[in-house]
């Protein structure tokens, strides 16, 4: 049985939906924190095994992972020691359950020397996987295009994209990564260890994104570089926790260092088509927003 964790989240949900097109429902299990969520119940109605599983509750993971041939550990939305601790718990539970293969949603740029805390956490988790003694696949996902949309939230009304200096990023759609992950899960011998970067076909800066936003909306978007320290101070002044502000700045530092700039064809090969471009990924979000005035 293929077990997918975090199956009601944005990525996990889409992975299961694609997996249902490739594997019989009774060969799929999901581990979710709340089995009563509508999406979890919808999966159960389709014949998917739904069980409660929390990365902070070893007993629940043992039950959720029972009978697993493969376990996909979808990374948690945390950073630092707590993040790695939870990933370790999930990996150990998969090993104990007898899984033949463990998969993990990592990120391009994963490395212990990364400027971005999340990438250092991914590197630490990959080391746990290497030491687990079980064959594993670490999915080096491209940077989520959805994050670009979040960075544009304040700019939508003003037209001013005021962010720290950046570098090229191979922005990648959740939908494409979900489809590719389902393909990898359905082909158990596909990839050992870290995958090549699973990225979109272009690496773009926020200067490029300003141009795309202008074309999509018909309104002018201007890119302005904000110095790191004042940008951080503004975030904290607006109520963002200092640690979160530092993590956010780490994304821009990593981008400036080229950690997210590599473009690779592996995702396109898995999909059998070109990945969704950032113009398409941002288009719906930008068109949904009201213009100023």
Q: What is the mean pLDDT of residues 72-85?
A: 95
Please state, in angstroms and rounded to a whole number, the distance separating the CA atoms of residues 149 and 217.
14
Do the Cβ atoms of 53 and 63 come closer than 8 Å? Answer: yes
CA diameter of the chain: 60
pLDDT more than 90, % of the chain = 86
Does the pLDDT of residue 288 top 70, yes or no?
no
CA atoms within 13 A on the CB side of 77: 5
Q: Is pLDDT at 260 greater than 90 in this prediction?
A: yes
Query: Strand runs (DSSP E) across 100-171, as ranges?
Result: 101-107, 136-141, 160-163
- Tokens in use for 257? 């260092």
The pLDDT of residue 292: 39
41/6 Cα distance (integer angstroms): 14
How far apart CA 88 and CA 104 sit, in angstroms, is 11
The H or E element that residue 70 is part of is strand 70-73
pLDDT digits (tens, 9 = 90+) for 8-28: 999 999 999 999 999 999 999
Average pLDDT over residues 114-118: 97
Ordered by where they begin, the domains of the chain are 2-141+174-194 (3.40.50.720)
Residue 289 has pLDDT above 60, yes or no: no
Cα distances from 97 to residues 67, 68, 101, 137, in angstroms, run 7, 6, 11, 17
- Say yes or no to pLDDT of 39 above 70: yes
Average pLDDT, the chain: 94
pLDDT of residue 156: 83
180-219: burial string, b at 16+ Cβ within 10 Å, e else: bbbbbbbeeeebeebbebbbbbebbbbebbbebbeebbee
Whole-number pLDDT of residue 232: 96
- pLDDT at position 118 is 96
φ and ψ of 130, to 5 deg: -60, -35
Instruction: Give the residue-averaged pLDDT of 24-51.
Output: 97
The structure tokens listed for 205 are 């800066």
Q: 8-41: string of b/e by CB count within 10 Å (b at 16+)?
A: bbebbbbbbbbbbeebebeebbbbbbebeeebbe
CB atoms within 10 A of CB 72: 31
């Amino acid at each position: 049985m293929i077990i997918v964790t975090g199956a009601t989240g944005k990525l996990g949900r889409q992975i299961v939906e694609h997996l249902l097109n490739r594997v019989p429902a009774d060969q799929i299990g999901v581990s979710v924190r709340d089995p009563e969520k509508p999406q979890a119940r919808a999966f159960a109605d389709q014949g998917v095994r739904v069980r409660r599983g929390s990365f902070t509750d070893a007993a629940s993971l043992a039950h959720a992972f029972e009978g697993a041939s493969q376990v996909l550990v979808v990374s948690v939305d945390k950073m630092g020691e707590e993040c790695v601790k939870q990933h370790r718990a999930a990996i150990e539970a998969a090993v104990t359950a007898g899984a033949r293969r463990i998969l993990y949603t990592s990120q391009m740029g994963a490395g212990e020397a990364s400027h971005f805390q999340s990438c250092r956490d991914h590197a630490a988790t990959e080391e746990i996987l290497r030491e687990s003694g079980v064959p594993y696949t670490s999915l080096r996902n491209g940077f989520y295009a959805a994050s670009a949309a979040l960075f544009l939230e304040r700019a939508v009304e003003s037209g001013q994209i005021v962010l720290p200096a950046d570098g090229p990023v191979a922005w990648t759609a959740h939908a494409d990564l979900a489809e590719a992950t389902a393909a990898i899960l359905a082909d158990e011998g596909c990839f050992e260890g870290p995958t090549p970067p699973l990225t979109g076909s272009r690496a773009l800066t926020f200067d490029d994104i300003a141009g795309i936003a202008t074309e999509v909306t018909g309104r002018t978007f201007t890119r302005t570089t904000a110095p790191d320290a004042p940008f951080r101070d503004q975030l904290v002044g607006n109520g963002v926790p200092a640690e979160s502000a530092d993590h956010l700045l780490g994304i821009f530092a990593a981008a400036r260092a080229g950690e997210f700039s590599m473009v690779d064809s592996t995702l396109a090969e898995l999909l059998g088509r070109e990945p969704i471009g950032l113009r398409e990924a941002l288009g719906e979000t930008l068109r949904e927003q009201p213009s100023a005035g």
